């Protein structure tokens, strides 16, 4: 859940907001003079967001992911046993 609140309210309730962001994954847009200035979110959500942006910034990887989706739709799949055999992995 994302909530927008002024910086004065955020400052007064910072401990509770951080706790809710951490435990419930709530997100807060903090405003200054009515304009968005910052976002408070859990470290877990922030890490996930950064990882997603890194993936999306890699055009080669995005292309490979899209191709993988097409391959799945067309039934071009390998099961794990086939992959291990092809790679010579004995697990």
Confidence check: pLDDT of 91 > 80 = no
Give the span between the Cα atoms of 91 and 55, in whole angstroms: 29
Strand pairing report for 2-6 and 35-40: unpaired
Domain ranges of the chain: 2-43, 58-87
CATH level 3 topology of 2-43: YefM-like fold (3.40.1620)
Mean pLDDT along residues 23-36: 97
Whether the CB-CB separation of 41 and 21 falls below 8 Å is answered with: yes
Q: What is the pTM of this model?
A: 0.69
Name the pLDDT band for 90 (thresholds 50, 70, 90).
confident
Q: Which helix (H) or strand (E) holds 4?
A: strand 2-6
What pLDDT was estimated at residue 25?
93
> Degrees (nearest 5) of the Cα angle 34, 39, 45?
155
pLDDT score of 2: 94
Question: Would you state the structure tokens that stand for residue 86, as one six-digit string?
Answer: 């092809």
Q: Mean pLDDT of all residues in the chain?
A: 95
For range 5-31, the mean pLDDT: 97
Give the C-alpha separation, 58 to 24, whole Å. Answer: 31
- CA 57-63-66 angle, to 5 degrees, is 115
Higher pLDDT, 82 or 42: 42
């Amino acid at each position: 859940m994302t909530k927008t609140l002024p910086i004065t309210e955020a400052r007064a309730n910072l401990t509770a907001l951080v706790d809710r962001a951490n435990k419930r994954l709530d997100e807060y847009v903090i405003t200054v003079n009515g304009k968005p200035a910052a976002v408070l979110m859990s470290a877990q959500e922030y890490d996930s967001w950064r990882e997603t942006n890194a993936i999306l910034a890699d055009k080669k990887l995005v292309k490979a992911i899209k191709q993988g989706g097409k391959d799945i739709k067309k039934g071009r799949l390998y099961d794990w046993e086939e992959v291990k055999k092809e790679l010579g992995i004995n697990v």
